[in-house]
Amino acid sequence: MSRTSSTKLGAHIRHVCALGFDSATIIPSVVAATREIVGADFGHFMWSDERFAISSVYSEIDEAYKTLGAYEHLRRTGHVSQLIGDFSEWMSLSCGFTNSDHLGPALERSAFYGEVLSPTGGRHFINVVARHGARGWGSLILVREKGRRPFTDAEYRLVDAFSRHIGNAVRHGSDSDGPFADGARSGILVVDWNGRIRHQSRFAYRLMLESIDRTCSTGIGDDNLPSELASVVRSLRAIERGLAVGPAVKEITNRWGRFTWSAYPLNDLGCVLHCQHQEPILLQALRAARSAGLSDRKQIVAARLVCGSSYHCIACLLRVKDSTVADCVRNIYWQLGVSSVSELRQRLLNTRV
């Protein structure tokens, strides 16, 4: 990646971490951006609680969630600690682990590789602790697949430069993420009338775990629909039988975003559950502004503008004059070939004028 592209991605990470959103909302963007900076194939993030234990997990691949049980078993038996140190040691900063390349051949001979890393297709990884104050509050892990080269220590340092930005976002995020809009993720589960999952599309398993806020659970690897979503199937079944019940729809809003689950009859054997994930409009707009090639300041101005902020509010946020914001908006319009806020909103959020 060119230095210019890396610099723009770095600015995007800092902007996202400063939005004040709950960290679960912004972590997917942070993982994606850091992955792009060092050319990783996928990434994970593990949150820490006050006692240095794993409280939640986010992964870009569903397979990672299914290895949590094996990871927990190896952690309890000491295999993980002997190889790379324990998560609690990373968070207390008493023991650090940065790069799997330091392990040499020992990694591929380990149970950790065979039961946790290999099933996800991974081979090389770096670990960056999200630090705030005198401890860590989470762990960002970026992975390269088998057949690719190891990470260098220089690549680790590129990502570690954002560790305190990420740590600050984890500690100081809020639960007020503003208005939501449909995100890029949706999923489908095919279930029978007893709530047993027969088929799932990409993202579906991850959306299910995030909906019920059980991303660090090691006991949900079976094929049964969790009780929080089984009620939607029961409602649809009752409707099919002609009973007077509410719609077969459930909306869940939590730190991961907003999830709308809707059930549709498939045949006598079961139904289809569709989930649409929504995320804050501001986060979508900021990401789109970066992709459009806008500079750091223009990204913030454009994103805030399409979310309804006035020139004066944006000026106060950036600590500049109102006229400076007005000049910036004119430059944004010229660069993107638009002439109004509504056209800018259409460009960044793909909404109708």
Under CATH, domain 3-172 is a member of which superfamily? GAF domain (3.30.450.40)
Annotated domain spans of the chain: 3-172, 180-280, 292-349
The Cα 111–Cα 149 span in angstroms is: 21
For position 217, what pLDDT does the model report?
60
What is 180-280's CATH topology? Beta-Lactamase (3.30.450)
**Domain 3-172 identical in fold to domain 292-349:** no
The Cα 116–Cα 86 span in angstroms is: 15
The Cα 180–Cα 142 span in angstroms is: 28
Q: Say whether domain 292-349 belongs to CATH 3.40.50.2300.
A: no
How many CA within 13 A on the CB side of residue 260?
Answer: 8
Question: Which residue type is seen at 256?
Answer: W
For position 327, what pLDDT does the model report?
94
Asked if residue 164 lies in contact with residue 241, where contact means CB atoms within 8 angstroms, the answer is no
Count Cβ atoms within 10 A of the Cβ of residue 122 and give its class: 0-12 exposed, 13-18 middle, 19 or more buried: buried
- The secondary structure of residue 319, as a DSSP letter, is T
Per-residue pLDDT of the chain (353 residues; tens, 9 = 90+): 677 677 778 888 888 888 777 888 889 889 999 999 999 999 999 999 888 999 889 999 888 988 988 999 998 898 998 999 999 999 998 888 999 999 999 999 999 999 999 999 999 999 999 999 889 999 999 999 999 999 999 999 999 999 999 998 898 766 555 677 676 778 899 999 988 898 888 778 888 988 888 776 644 556 888 888 999 999 898 888 887 777 888 989 887 888 999 999 887 788 999 999 888 888 888 888 888 888 888 988 999 898 888 999 899 888 889 999 999 999 999 999 999 998 998 899 875 43
